[in-house]
Amino acid sequence: MLLRSFSLSPIYQGKGLGKKSVLLITDLLKQKYPEINEIVLSVNVRNINAYHTYLNVGFFDTEKYVEGIMGQQHILSKKV
């Protein structure tokens, strides 16, 4: 499953809400789509906080990149 877009307003960033949200999204996807075995997303290489948040909730860096509208993107993956 490809997670296409996820963002938090700056006023909510840095409060652990991103981490909690991604964990809830992962759980919801496992329940609603039991046939999926992987979640894939991209995160801008300049967005260090989001990158580390995803790593902290079980995503791993595939060491692949894609060029996006806002610049180079890490491709991350999580087995479910």
Number of folded domains in the chain?
1
Is 2 within a domain?
no
Question: What CATH number is associated with residue 27?
Answer: 3.40.630.30
CA 57 to chain centre: 9
Confidence of residue 68 (pLDDT cuts 50, 70, 90): confident
- Domain range holding 17? 10-79
Is 3 within a domain?
no
Rounded mean pLDDT, 4-16: 87
Phi, psi of 43 (to 5 degrees): -140, 135
Is 67 within a domain?
yes
Is 63 within a domain?
yes
Is 17 within a domain?
yes
Confidence of residue 4 (pLDDT cuts 50, 70, 90): confident
- Its pTM stands at 0.88
Is 30 within a domain?
yes
- Using CA atoms, how far residue 16 sits from 1, 8, 13, 38, in Å, is 24, 11, 7, 23
> Angle at the Cα of 30 (from 24 to 36), degrees rounded to 5?
135
